[in-house]
Every structure is written in C-alpha cells, then in structure tokens.
C-alpha cells in the first residue's frame, strides 16, 4: 500500500490521536484487514502467536527473522494501518543481528518493534522461570536498534520482564535505563495491579504499554481503568487468535460428529462478508476491464 508518510510516522500519529491507543493482534493479512475494518488505528504481530499459529511451536524464541518478515510483508501489502512487531530478544545474538532486524522491518513496511530483556532462550512472559540479561546488555540491544534506524520515526519499544524476579523497584530502575538508552515506549510485562502501572507512568517520560493478554497474570483491566493511571498504549496481542482457534476446533469437532456443517453456518463469516473485506469485486472489475481493453485492441 502506498502512502505519503512512513509507517513509523503513522504509528506516532495514532498515538497522538488516541489515548490510550488500542493495539490489537493480527496474525495474518486477513485479520489485519478485519482489525482495520473494526476501526483500530494500530495492529500487532505477536512472536508467540506467530510461533504457535504459523509454525505450531511454543513461544520459546524459535522464530527467525525470515518467519517474521514473511508475515510483516503480507500484512503491510494489504493495509496502511501501522504494524507494531514483536522481535523477542532481537532475532539474533549480536548487535549486528538486531541492526539487520530493524533495517529489514523498516524495509518491509513495519511501523515499530519491541525488544525484551530476557536471555536468548526466552520464555512466554506469563510463565515462571524467566531469565534476564543484565541492564547493560539490554541497553546495548536498544542502542543497536536505535542506531540502525533508517527512518527516524520508526518506533522502538523496550519490554522488561523484570517484575517477576526484581519487583517493581528493580523493573522501574531498568525501565529508566532503557528510556535513557533511547526507547520510545516501555512495555511492562506481567503487571498484576493498576498501582504498578501508575508507578511506571510516574517514573518515566515515555509512554507505557499495558499488555492485556488473556489467561495470564495480568487482570483484564479496561481501557478506562488503564487511562486513569496514565497508560498510553494497550495491547491485546492474541484475543482474535484465541477466539479463532476455539471456533476452528468446535467446527472440526461438529463436522466430524454430525457429518455436516449446516448447524454451524450462523457462526461463520459469509462469502459476501469475506469478499467485502478483501475487496474481491474491485479485483474482479479490474480483471474485466483489463480483458475488455485487450479484446478491444485486437
């Protein structure tokens, strides 16, 4: 999709236009279109969702840069809605890998990324046993990402998983250092109450992101509750993914048991709804016009 502004600039504009900015996870291009149709100003590609949804593997740092880029390019081809991307610990062990990740994402049309302070053999942010790198190593990751930007508007977020092992004081101390290193926003993972979000907001002068993922340690805080403590960005990384997976299993089980899908039709997206979302008729009209032109010139 062509536009006069960079993807990074569009994400920054969305952050100014909506406070707090709701960012919803889209694991593929069709879901990106559906999220845009629903009115979201920003969308997200989850590393854990990509690992499970595309590769059928757990969120343990198994995805590669190419895995990520494939989906980013598919999503940014069909929508200008700015895409924030999860890159785990940088998608490589060195500063050069992180730089390659940043440059490649910008070239692929992403609007921003977040990078985390877990070790390379990372775990899901809502699981026990997470191990962190030192603040100094994470600072190097952030600096490498900032230095690699070919678009100054590209957004770089720092995620800290330190709450589980270092508590609010340790996590905020890390966050302050990450801010100083050049992070554009702070992703506080595993937050268990609103007061902790408020403490992050009070300590920092960059936006704080709340990750409101289901079935984890963070309660399902509302947009209003998070706005009241100063959170500027709210992430719903896997909500549609979880719902789609549940629905798919139920349909499979129903067809297997009943031998027909007739009773499930009311729960399905219709052909007309799908065609509207993907712009099917516009493509068909273009095809008709193209062939008409070709025939007329013979």
Binding residues: 46-48, 86, 88, 124-125, 159, 189, 211-213, 242, 271
Residue 88 falls in the annotated catalytic set: yes
Catalytic residue among 116, 151, 161, 184: 116
Structure tokens at 189: 């993972």
Contact status, residue 239 vs residue 30, Cβ threshold 8 Å? no
- Residue tagged active-site, from 31, 114, 141, 153: 114
Q: Which residues are annotated as a binding site for substrate?
A: 46-48, 124-125, 159, 189, 211-213, 242, 271
Residues 276, 270: Cα–Cα separation, whole Å: 10
- Residue 152 DSSP SS3: coil
- Cα separation, 47 vs 68, in Å, equals 8
Q: Which of 86, 117, 151, 161 is catalytic?
A: 86
Using alpha carbons, list the distances in angstroms from residue 177 to 142, 187, 189, 196.
Answer: 10, 13, 16, 18
Alpha helices in 18-64 (DSSP H): 29-37, 47-50
193 is catalytic: no
Query: How does 31-68 read in b/e, with b if 16+ C-beta sit within 10 Å?
Result: bbbbbbeeebbbbbbbbbbbbbbeeeeebebebebebb
280 is catalytic: no
Of the candidates 256, 267, 202, 252, which has an alpha carbon nearest to the alpha carbon of residue 229? Answer: 202
Count, in order, helices (H) and strands (E) of the chain.
12, 8
- Could you confirm whether 292 is annotated as catalytic? no
Catalytic annotation present for 149: no
- Please say whether the beta carbons of 85 and 68 come within 8 A: yes
Query: Of the listed 12, 41, 71, 88, which one is catalytic?
Result: 88
**Catalytic-residue membership of 189:** yes
| Annotated catalytic residue 284 | no
CB count in 10 Å sphere of residue 263: 10
Catalytic residue among 189, 197, 232, 236: 189
Which residues contribute to the annotated binding site for Mg(2+)? 86, 88
CA dihedral 141, 180, 151, 31 (to 10 degrees): 70
Active site residue 71: no
Which one from 44, 178, 197, 236 is the annotated catalytic residue?
44
E strands in the chain: 21-25, 42-45, 83-86, 112-116, 155-160, 185-188, 208-211, 233-236
**Is 44 one of the annotated active-site residues of the chain?**
yes
Catalytic one of 31, 117, 211, 236: 211
Query: Which DSSP category does 286 fall into?
Result: H
Instruction: Respond yes or no: is residue 250 known to be catalytic.
Output: no
The residues carrying an active-site annotation are: 44, 59, 86, 88, 114, 116, 124, 159, 189, 211
């Amino acid at each position: 999709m062509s536009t006069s502004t960079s993807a990074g600039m569009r994400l920054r504009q969305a952050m100014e236009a909506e406070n707090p900015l709701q960012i919803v996870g889209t694991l593929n291009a069709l879901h990106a279109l559906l999220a845009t149709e629903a009115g979201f100003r920003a969308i997200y590609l989850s590393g854990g969702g990509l690992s499970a949804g595309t590769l059928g593997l757990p969120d343990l740092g198994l995805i590669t840069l190419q895995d990520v880029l494939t989906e980013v390019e598919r999503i940014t081809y069909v929508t200008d809605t700015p895409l924030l991307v999860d890159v785990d610990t940088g998608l490589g062990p060195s500063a050069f890998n992180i730089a390659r990740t940043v440059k490649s994402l910008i070239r692929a049309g992403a609007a921003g990324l977040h990078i985390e302070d877990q070790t390379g053999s990372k775990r899901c942010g809502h699981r026990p046993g997470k191990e962190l790198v030192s603040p100094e190593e994470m600072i190097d990751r952030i600096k490498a990402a900032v230095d690699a930007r070919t678009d100054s508007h590209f957004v770089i977020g720092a995620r800290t998983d330190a709450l589980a092992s270092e508590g609010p004081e340790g996590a905020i101390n890390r966050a302050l250092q990450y801010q100083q290193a050049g992070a554009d926003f702070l992703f506080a993972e595993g937050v268990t109450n609103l007061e902790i979000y408020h403490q992050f907001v009070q300590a920092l002068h960059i936006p704080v992101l709340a990750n409101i993922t289901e079935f984890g340690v963070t309660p399902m805080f509302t947009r209003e509750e998070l706005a009241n403590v100063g959170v500027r960005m709210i992430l719903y990384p896997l909500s549609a993914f979880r719902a789609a997976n549940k629905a798919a299993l139920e349909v499979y089980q129903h067809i297997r048991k009943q031998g027909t899908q007739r009773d499930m039709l009311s729960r399905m997206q219709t052909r007309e709804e799908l065609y509207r979302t993907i712009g099917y008729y516009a493509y068909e009209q273009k095809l008709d016009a193209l062939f008409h032109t070709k025939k007329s010139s013979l």
